């Protein structure tokens, strides 16, 4: 069967645009593959594009001088990669890495800045999204400091699921360990606990969530705080 063409409306921010903005943006959007491990931007470098994932998930990582890293946020079909571009910074100390392979769209930096500077509905939408993203970053810092690895793993799985249409993630335990800033052995132990509890199935880089409600019961309060803020600030959209 022929493959369906990439659909910008699968990204919630793009789907929330009014018709006038869609007419300006959509012809300029470039459909792209986003393979596992691809680096969309590096720390300190100027951004050439912003990215809108549709079926992929991107991790925002803070990288230390010795190469160690820890995740500060995840972005998927709810959002945009590259907020520093329209917030006036041009670059950021974080790194953006594809953590679950899929597809998305990108838009040239100059076009995004021009749209933001119109000071219309897009500006308010992007500022609300940025507030939600900052909440996720702050809650991630609190969670990593005060909650168990088991709870962090459940939070991370749920946030990732919220940013995909399905219930399966494609990623290695080594990648998860880099995201959470812990040793791989800790992730292995945590994943086995969840698998033995019947909550997930993990094999060959594929994580299938079998019992989402069970994960929600097992996680800490941080997941609910982040989810409620996104729900409060951003419109619920359905791609049509």
Joined tokens for residue 45:
């470098």
Closest CA to 61 of 168, 185, 175: 175
The 3-state secondary structure of the chain, one letter per residue: CCCCCCCHHHCHHHHCCCHHHHHHHHHHCEEEEECCCCEEECCCCCCCEEEEECCCEEEEEEECCCCCEEEEEEECCCCCECHHHHCCCCCCCEEEEEEECEEEEEEEHHHHHHHHCCCCHHHHHHHHHHHHHHHHHHHHHHHHHHCCHHHHHHHHHHHHHHCCCCCEEECCHHHHHHHHCCCHHHHHHHHHHHHHCCCEEEECCEEEECCHHHHHHHCCHHHHHHHHHHHHHCCCCCCC
Domains of the chain: 8-122 (2.60.120.10), 144-227 (1.10.10.10)
Q: In the sheet that 69-75 helps form, which strands lie side by side, from edge to edge? A: 39-41, 94-100, 57-63, 69-75
Q: Please report the pLDDT score of residue 238 as a whole number.
A: 43
Cβ–Cβ < 8 Å for 34, 56: yes
Residue located via tokens 């076009």: 111
Mean pLDDT, residues 126-147 taken together? 89
In the chain, % of residues over pLDDT 70: 91
Joined tokens for residue 32:
């792209």
Q: Please report the pLDDT score of residue 50 as a whole number.
A: 94
Per-residue pLDDT reduced to its tens digit, 78-104: 999 998 888 776 777 789 999 888 999
Report the Cα 54 to chain-centroid distance in Å.
Answer: 10
| Helices 184-196/173-180 angle, 10° precision | 110
Cβ–Cβ < 8 Å for 164, 100: yes
Residue 149 has pLDDT above 90, yes or no: no
Q: Please report the pLDDT score of residue 66 as a whole number.
A: 79
Residue located via tokens 């500022």: 127
Selected residue with higher pLDDT from 1 and 80: 80
Q: Please report the pLDDT score of residue 52 as a whole number.
A: 97
**Of the given ranges (71-85, 150-164, 172-186), which has the lowest mean pLDDT?**
172-186
The pTM assigned to this predicted structure is 0.87
Band (pLDDT 50/70/90 cuts) for residue 118 is confident
């Amino acid at each position: 069967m022929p493959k369906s063409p990439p659909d910008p409306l699968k990204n919630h921010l793009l789907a929330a645009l009014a018709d006038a903005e869609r007419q300006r943006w959509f012809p300029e959007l470039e459909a792209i593959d986003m393979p596992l491990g691809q680096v969309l931007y590096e720390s300190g470098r100027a951004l050439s594009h912003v990215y809108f994932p549709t079926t992929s998930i991107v991790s925002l990582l803070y990288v230390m001088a010795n190469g160690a890293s820890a995740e500060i946020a995840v972005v998927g079909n709810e959002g945009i990669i590259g907020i520093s571009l329209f917030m006036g910074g041009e670059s950021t100390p974080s790194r953006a890495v594809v953590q679950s392979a899929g597809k998305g769209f990108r838009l040239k930096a100059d076009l995004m800045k021009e749209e933001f500077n119109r000071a219309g509905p897009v500006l308010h939408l992007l500022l609300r999204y940025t507030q939600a993203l900052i909440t996720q970053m702050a809650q991630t810092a609190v969670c990593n400091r005060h909650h168990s690895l088991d709870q962090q793993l459940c939070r991370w799985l749920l946030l990732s699921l919220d940013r995909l249409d399905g219930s399966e993630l494609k990623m290695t335990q080594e990648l998860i360990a880099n995201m959470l800033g812990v040793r791989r052995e800790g992730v292995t132990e945590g994943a086995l606990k969840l698998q033995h509890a019947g909550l997930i199935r993990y094999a060959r880089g594929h994580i299938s969530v079998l019992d989402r409600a069970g994960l929600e019961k097992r996680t800490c309060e941080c997941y609910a705080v982040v989810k409620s803020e996104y729900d409060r600030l951003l419109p619920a959209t359905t791609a049509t």
